[in-house]
Amino acid sequence: MTSLISERIVTIRASVPSSVRLIAVSKQVPTELMREAYAAGIRDFAESRIQEAASKQTQLQDLPDITWHFIGNLQSNKAKKALELFDWIHSVDNLHIAQRLDTLAQQLGVSPLVCLQVKILPDPHKSGWMIPDLLADLAALNQCKNLQIQGLMTIPPRGLDEGKIFNVFNDTRNLAQEIASQGWGNIKMQHLSMGMSGDYQLAIQAGATMVRLGTILFGHRFQLAKI
């Protein structure tokens, strides 16, 4: 039986280069639909709330080869739980939380894969480093030896036209190249986590290595919530 979700996944896969990791954003999505995505080959799921992720991981214990990605706003008091639940944290958005994760990771004996969240344009609705602030924090981030810093994550401000969205993604790639050229021993810039349902094609054109897709795979979350 082919489900609507598996059809969507086949279509999207065909439009995404195989080198780009397709991450299914499953926040507010019931686990039955996540199982359909899994059956269609998805192994990367992203959540934005710790509690919701914990409950889903319990329900999906029989699917052991899932890679879990955290994409939400991370508060200090949830950092330990995030390290216990997630393989990747895309939303490390300030030095304080990076250092907290580093300390906790050492205590727990884990070395999480992380992206640094950047804001290319000012955006009061989003967290993340503005470019000069990130450059100033690199030396301290390089000391976070228990974190495997893999690259940058960004979300463009709402309401930009396509050209401006592309520029945000392109500037993010250029920033990653600039950081990579500085040769920090503990900061790799091999990944760009950028692109959501409405803009992932632009992100891929600009060099995204991971796209985070929710609505286009699972449908609108406000409708899912009524199921």
Ligand X SMILES: *Cc1c(COP(=O)(O)O)cnc(C)c1O
CB 66 within 8 A of CB 31: no
Mapping DSSP onto H, E and C, the string for 79-126 reads HHHHHHHCCEEEEECCHHHHHHHHHHHHHHCCCCEEEEEEECCCCCCC
Site for ligand X in 91-150 (CB under 6 A): none
| Nearest to ligand X of 96, 125 (CB atom) | 125
The yes or no reply on residue 197 touching ligand X (CB under 6 A) is: yes
With CB under 6 A as the contact rule, the residue among 26, 48, 57, 172 that binds ligand X is: 48
CA distance 157 to 11: 27
> In the complex, what is the shortest distance from the CB of residue 49 to ligand X, in angstroms, rounded to a whole number?
10
Q: Which span sits near ligand X by CB under 6 A: 2-10, 75-83, 141-149, 211-219?
A: 211-219
CB of 220 to ligand X, least distance (A): 8
Which CB sits closer to ligand X, 12 or 180? 12
Sign of CA dihedral 11, 62, 111, 156: positive
Please provide residue 205's backbone torsions phi and psi, each rounded to the nearest 5 degrees.
-60, -35
User: Judged by CB under 6 A, does residue 214 bind ligand X?
Assistant: yes
* Spatial contact of 5 and 36, defined as CB atoms under 8 Å apart: yes
Residue closer to ligand X by CB (options 23, 104) is 23
Q: Does 71 bind ligand X (CB under 6 A)?
A: yes
